[in-house]
Amino acid sequence: MAAPYSTREEIDEAHSALTATFATGRSKDLAWRKWQLKQLWWLLEDNEERILEVLRKDLDRHTFESCMTDLLVLKEEILDFLKNLDKWTAEVKIDAGLIFGYLSKSHYRKEPLGVSLIIGAWNFPILMALLPVVPAIASGCCILIKPSELAIHSEALLRELIPKYFDPTAIRILTGGVSETTYILEKRWNQIFFTGSSKVGQFVAEAAAKHLTPTVLELGGLGPAVVTKTADIDLAARRIAYSKFINAGQICVAVNHVIAEPEIVDKLVERLSYWNDQFMKEGDNPMCKIINARNFDRLVGLLEQTNGKIVYGGKLDKEATFIHPTIVRDVTLEDSLMSEELFGPILPIITATFEDAIQCINSLSNPLASYIFSKDDSVVQDFLNRTLSGGVTVNNVVIHSSIRGAPFGGVGGSGYGYYHGVTGIDCFTHKRTVATPPSWLDGLMAFTYPPYQLSKVSY
């Protein structure tokens, strides 16, 4: 059953309560932070079966995939923070020479920004709601979590568990759709961490700007995979097919479309079809479904309008909102399948030379992820030097987003800000420089006071 949406009164109350708690300094205490991180660990550990069950209900996702993505990633992040919290949040000495460094004991403190609003997406409904909570707790913030309303079973479970495991004076959850989130965004938060689409990211940024609230936008985009004639085609096909298979391609770092050189496009299509056959072979429920009828209809609509050639898949099950992995070749930049982030198991292939591929990528908004397949390092370097994306994996997919501690975030249309590991601390803290010059320094620095004497300065 879906969780009831939060009322305006509940939103007002949560905002006031969290603001009041932050003012007491409760969430700044290092022991409190560690306790809350451990509570998050226990939330996952005690409720593993229920979490896997809601992910099955929301997305019909295989348990293996849910363990690998939602659970494992979250647990690793918690352990990493518990191990390093003291070091990562400690004040940092500033090496500014004798007077302003050593004698003034200059350093900066990583001050928690205050009350953070964390808004999650539905594709990994547990992970996207809780992963940013780890650095937010570690930084000493109070937190309001607003998970996606589209993954209704995950949303309901989070609504039940968050008050049970976390300190309710400092960490809360509110639920709702567009109108509730719009009302939440009217309030003054001290930090906003948003995961979702570029379109909604703009609304969030606008709302944040009214209060000058520092914001992290973790968005998506049209992530390309360029397969060159110098690539290992079979390996490229296997890995690209895999990126459209996990979560049925409903991943921000999935390959959105392939740009393949003319010499290898036939072989690539053949190997992609082969690997899709392998991935879909028997087994229980190999690939998950599309989250809901609206997204299913959106994808089907784009597929119906394509001018490309469907060369694999195309089978649809409306009732189960399931789309079989589908390959469409001879797609152009103007095609319906290139009009928006697909976020589904449809793979358009554009045939183009490497030079045209670079132009094509640069004509679109900067994606969150891009992929280059080539065994020739000079081609890889050329790709890196002439394009820009949130991250890149060379000769593979998705890996750059799962390297522990590697900054993960978008650029341009795919957002701003980074997290994962220590980089997450920067999202939720302010670097506050503190200088403590000794009073006797005035003797040494008397010449800096008026009346000025130019003869005492050399520059």
Which residues would be at the binding site for ligand NAD (CB under 6 A)? 119-123, 128, 146, 148-149, 177-178, 181-182, 195-197, 200, 203, 218-220, 252, 341, 343, 368, 410
Q: Which residues contact 79 (CB under 8 A, 6 or more apart)?
A: 41
Minimal distance, residue 393 CB to ligand NAD, in Å: 15
What's the CA gap between 317 and 117, in Å, rounded? 37
128/328 with CB nearer ligand NAD: 128
121/227 with CB nearer ligand NAD: 121
Minimal distance, residue 128 CB to ligand NAD, in Å: 5
Minimal distance, residue 132 CB to ligand NAD, in Å: 9
The string of DSSP letters for 303-364 reads HHH--SEEEE---EETTTTEE--EEEES--TTSGGGSS---SSEEEEEE--HHHHHHHHHHS
Catalytic one of 141, 252, 288, 360: 252
203/242 with CB nearer ligand NAD: 203
Provide the 8-state DSSP code for 185: H
Provide the 8-state DSSP code for 391: E
What's the CA gap between 226 and 211, in Å, rounded? 41
| CA angle (242, 271, 314) in 5-degree steps | 70
Query: Could you count the other beta carbons within 10 Å of the beta carbon of residue 334?
Result: 8
Give the β-pairing of 369-373 and 224-227.
Answer: parallel
Minimal distance, residue 388 CB to ligand NAD, in Å: 16
The answer to whether 29 and 138 have CB atoms below 8 angstroms apart is no
Amino acid letter, 331: V
Catalytic one of 149, 155, 218, 261: 218
What's the CA gap between 322 and 291, in Å, rounded? 9
Q: What is the signed CA dihedral for 197, 200, 206, 210, rounded to 10 degrees?
A: -110
119/126 with CB nearer ligand NAD: 119
Minimal distance, residue 276 CB to ligand NAD, in Å: 22
156/233 with CB nearer ligand NAD: 156
152/219 with CB nearer ligand NAD: 219
Is 67 catalytic? The answer is no
Is 141 catalytic? The answer is no
CA 162, 164, 166, 171 dihedral sign is: positive
Minimal distance, residue 360 CB to ligand NAD, in Å: 20
Using the structure block, give the residue that is written with the tokens 């319906």: 336
Q: Which residues contact 268 (CB under 8 A, 6 or more apart)?
A: 227, 233, 236, 237, 258, 260, 349
SS3 for 395-410 is CCCCHHHCCCCCCECC
Provide the 8-state DSSP code for 447: G
114/344 with CB nearer ligand NAD: 344
Catalytic sites, residue numbers? 218, 252
